[in-house]
């Protein structure tokens, strides 16, 4: 059965806390998104709100309207919010129950596991639907610690890290991976958060569901699994948070567990403070690069920008300024594609140059 989904993103679509919905609307992966719920933007086209390009996905004021507006009967209901506190409000619980009553399976990306919620499981059984807790880890007895097997991986490993949370790291990683594939390279993408897993990534896990020492071991396990299964030309690892971020440790886990030989740094130039922590100033690009390179014993080889709040002219000026200042490729992959980044990666890794000769 084809997977038609409604994405719930009340008050958040197009914002930082709506990043799961934003990502699914741009690249739905396993699902066909038939409607988005956000009463504050009802009546608009989801693609136009995100990227000024219509995609035919309507934004609706409530579940009833979303079901009525859908061109195909939806059989999945995806929570597309990523709130800082990661727990459901009372009204959100009611919407989920109504979705189950309408025969929809539930995809839950929050830290609050609905499969451990007696009321939710009772409702799911009553209406014959399933609940998937995307962040729920495997049984603890199956968790792995760091083994050193990552040192045997021969393919280049590249991580896309950032200066803040919810600034476009996963989007950039996936666009770079697709551009590599267009050029004939075999790439493996390792997801580290809920959106990539919902989209259907073959490798990865929700990093923030694990204690740090297991987070490192589990990421190593997924990178090694991707390498041994695919024998790719390159492995791209999605970043989480920021290494400098006072509230998150995921970037540290990525640098330790994946041991990337190169890093792409994603940055939103217009942000003055951290997204969910407005009392903390944004780090500078210089300071984040220095921290990443020192902590991870790796090199930042390209900078990709998030154009939120920027005019096209401001974006172009910033790209020119950063390229002069940092002497590396700078672009916005959503606006201009990933050519610059991919060219840099090919220049940086000899194994990719050999492949380039072979495919050309």
pLDDT in tens, 61-77: 999 999 999 999 999 99
Burial degree of 289 (CB within 10 A; 0-12, 13-18, 19+)? buried
What is the rounded CA–CA span in Å between residue 112 and residue 88? 7
Q: Over 90: is that where the pLDDT of 82 sits?
A: no
pLDDT band of 356, cuts 50, 70, 90: low
Percent of residues, the chain, with pLDDT higher than 90? 93
pLDDT mean over 216-224:
98
Sorted by where each starts, the structural domains of the chain and their CATH numbers stand as 4-133 (3.40.50.720), 142-359 (3.40.50.300)
pTM of the model: 0.96
- The pLDDT assigned to 183 comes to 95
Q: Over 80: is that where the pLDDT of 360 sits?
A: no
Q: Over 80: is that where the pLDDT of 83 sits?
A: no
According to DSSP, residue 244 is labeled T
pLDDT in tens, 11-29: 999 999 899 999 999 999 9
- Nearest residue to 81 (alpha-carbon basis) of 132, 171, 169, 19: 19
Torsion of CA 230, 231, 233, 235, to 10 degrees: 60
What is the rounded CA–CA span in Å between residue 275 and residue 17? 9
pLDDT in tens, 149-187: 999 999 999 999 999 999 999 999 999 999 999 999 999
What is the rounded CA–CA span in Å between residue 164 and residue 251? 10
- The pLDDT assigned to 354 comes to 73
- Nearest residue to 50 (alpha-carbon basis) of 94, 13, 7: 13
Q: Distance between terminal CA atoms of the chain? A: 40
- The pLDDT assigned to 273 comes to 98
- The pLDDT assigned to 357 comes to 54
């Amino acid at each position: 059965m084809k997977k038609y989904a409604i994405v719930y993103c009340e008050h958040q679509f197009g914002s930082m806390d709506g990043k799961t919905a934003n990502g699914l609307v741009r690249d739905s992966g396993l699902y066909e998104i038939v409607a988005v719920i956000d009463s504050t933007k009802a009546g608009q086209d989801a693609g136009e709100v995100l990227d000024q390009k219509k995609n035919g996905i309507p934004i609706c004021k409530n579940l009833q309207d979303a079901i009525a507006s859908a061109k195909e009967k939806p059989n999945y209901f995806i929570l597309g919010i990523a709130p800082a506190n990661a727990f459901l409000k009372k009204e959100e619980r009611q919407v989920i129950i109504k979705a189950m009553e309408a025969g929809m399976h539930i995809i839950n990306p929050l830290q609050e596991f609905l499969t451990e919620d007696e009321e939710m499981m009772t409702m799911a059984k009553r209406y014959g639907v399933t609940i998937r807790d995307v962040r729920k880890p495997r049984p603890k007895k199956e968790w792995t610690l760091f083994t050193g097997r990552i040192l045997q991986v021969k393919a280049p490993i590249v991580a896309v890290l950032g200066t803040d949370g919810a600034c476009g790291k996963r989007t950039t990683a996936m666009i770079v991976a697709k551009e590599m594939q267009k050029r004939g390279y075999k790439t493996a993408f390792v997801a580290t958060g809920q959106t990539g897993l919902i989209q259907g990534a073959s490798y990865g896990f929700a990093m923030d569901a694990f204690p740090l020492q297991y987070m490192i071991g589990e990421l190593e396990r997924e990178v090694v699994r991707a390498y041994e299964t695919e024998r790719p030309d390159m492995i791209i690892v999605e970043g989480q948070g920021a290494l400098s971020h006072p509230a998150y440790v995921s970037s540290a886990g990525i640098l330790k567990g994946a041991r990337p030989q190169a890093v792409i740094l994603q940055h939103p130039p217009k942000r003055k403070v951290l997204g969910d922590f407005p009392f903390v100033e944004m780090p500078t690009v210089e300071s984040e690069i220095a921290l990443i390179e020192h902590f991870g014993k790796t090199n930042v080889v390209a900078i990709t920008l998030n154009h939120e709040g920027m005019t096209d002219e401001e974006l172009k000026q910033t790209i020119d300024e950063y390229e002069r200042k940092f002497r590396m490729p700078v672009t916005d992959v959503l606006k201009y594609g990933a050519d610059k980044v991919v060219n840099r990666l090919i220049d940086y890794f000899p194994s990719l140059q050999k492949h380039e000769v072979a495919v050309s």
